[in-house]
Amino acid sequence: MKLSNFFIFSFFISGFLWSVQVEGSTRHHHNHHQHQHQHNNNNPNIYKNDPKKHQIYGFKPTKLFVFGDSYVDTGNNRKSIANSWKKPYGVTFPGKPSGRFSDGRVLTDYLAKFFGVKSPVPYRWMKYATNRLRYGVNFAYGGTGVFNTLVPEPNMTTQIDFFQKLMAESVYTKADIEESSLFLLSLAGNDYGAYLATGGTVQNLPAFITSVVNQLVINMKRVNQLGAKKIAVTALEPLGCLPQSTILNSFQQCNATENTAVDFHNSLLQQAVEKLNNETIGSTFMILDLFSSFNTVLNSKGVPGSTRFETPLKPCCMGISKEYSCGSMNEKGEKMYTVCNDPKSAFFWDRVHPTEAGWNAIYNALKSTLTQKIL
């Protein structure tokens, strides 16, 4: 992998977070039967909540436990530091800011919908929603990484500590975790943004990428040791296609140099996941390939079943100049950003995050793999 000409990507913009959530598509559950493999077929109890689904060989999670960043965060971030709590975030869903880094639903919400469960409650709000604990918990914080970033929020290790604490308090049983829970780890790039923003050099980037993937693998092994039997991890999306990179060419084309670095991260991750699966019984670990799904959607301006995006690289909401971002206000309370007329027609919401329509398209692109790999 040639990274010698790799240069700074201004990946870390203060106030961007990565979030994902989705709910409420009308699609009902589908016939995964043909794709079933032989996981978990020894435990009939996992279907007890859904007698109508006769998936003898399938795995049907009823709980999601989510770790990571703004691509999956549904409201853990503090209002004082996150744009996700400012207008116009949340304008499409739920109609006001909800802590999601989008105009609406994010990846977590769409995955929950896929499994027919409610989106798991953000960890920060769990004591106000104990009735939702049966769907799992979302521990993800926008802006975070596997290492500490510029955002003063818990890194992935600390997020897993929170989960471990709930286990120690018997909020969940080992059986809950082993038999009916899907774990999702999202790493969308904040470690790299922080690395470059704090003077990390391009020469050392390959070594840093290696250490990021190694730490991610440590985290995956740790949740496995805590009982998780189904662990999905996101491949890094094409960072060079995010508006923060393509703004330099008026959102015309992706930055290939940056995507080369992403390839390196993803190939290390792919090898690591293969190795982990070789070392464990069944297919415990899987990759949610955001790299391919972003590329598919961006290249074909949508996928069947999703919106058509006429200018997929162009974000809907942007600061009026470099100092401002989506949601910024000046001292007088005036908006320092512009929003497109129809967020449903845009793939990207802000400089780094898809819109709800964007996530819906990603979800449609991912669905076939989800069926094969998880169910």
Which residues have a catalytic role annotated?
A: 70, 350, 353
| Contact map string, positions 66 to 85, toward ligand NAG, x by CB under 6 A | --------------------
Closest to ligand NAG by CB, 274 vs 342, is 274
| Contact map string, positions 343 to 372, toward ligand NAG, x by CB under 6 A | ------------------------------
CB 356 within 8 A of CB 104: yes
CB 355 within 8 A of CB 16: no
Query: Within a 13 Å sphere around the CA of 236, how many CA atoms are in the beta-carbon half?
Result: 29
Identify the CA nearest to 138 among candidates 170, 177, 184, 188: 184
9 binds ligand NAG (CB under 6 A): yes
CB of 270 to ligand NAG, least distance (A): 9
C-alpha–C-alpha distance, residues 78 and 124, integer Å: 9
Strand partners of residue 319: 337
Closest to ligand NAG by CB, 271 vs 368, is 271
Identify the CA nearest to 277 among candidates 247, 233, 314: 233
CB of 158 to ligand NAG, least distance (A): 5
Number of residues in contact with ligand NAG, rule: CB under 6 A?
Answer: 17
165 binds ligand NAG (CB under 6 A): no
| Contact map string, positions 172 to 211, toward ligand NAG, x by CB under 6 A | ----------------------------------------
CB of 68 to ligand NAG, least distance (A): 13
CB of 257 to ligand NAG, least distance (A): 4
Q: Name residue, tokens 């975070």.
A: 144
Q: Name residue, tokens 């390196």.
A: 264
Which tokens in the block code for residue 103? 């105009």
First-residue to last-residue Cα distance in the chain: 34
Closest to ligand NAG by CB, 21 vs 155, is 155
The residue whose Cβ lies closest to ligand NAG is 7
278 binds ligand NAG (CB under 6 A): yes
260 binds ligand NAG (CB under 6 A): no
Closest to ligand NAG by CB, 158 vs 371, is 158
Closest to ligand NAG by CB, 248 vs 329, is 248
C-alpha–C-alpha distance, residues 15 and 225, integer Å: 34
Closest to ligand NAG by CB, 223 vs 362, is 223
The residue from 257, 260, 311, 371 that contacts ligand NAG (CB under 6 A) is 257
1 binds ligand NAG (CB under 6 A): no
C-alpha–C-alpha distance, residues 65 and 135, integer Å: 8
Stretch that binds ligand NAG, among 181-189, 223-231, 268-276, 309-317 (CB under 6 A): 268-276
Q: What sign has the CA pseudo-torsion 90, 144, 256, 338?
A: positive
155 binds ligand NAG (CB under 6 A): yes
The residue from 57, 147, 162, 251 that contacts ligand NAG (CB under 6 A) is 147
- Residues forming contacts to ligand NAG in the complex (CB under 6 A) are 7-9, 147-148, 155, 157-158, 215, 248, 255, 257-258, 271, 274-275, 278
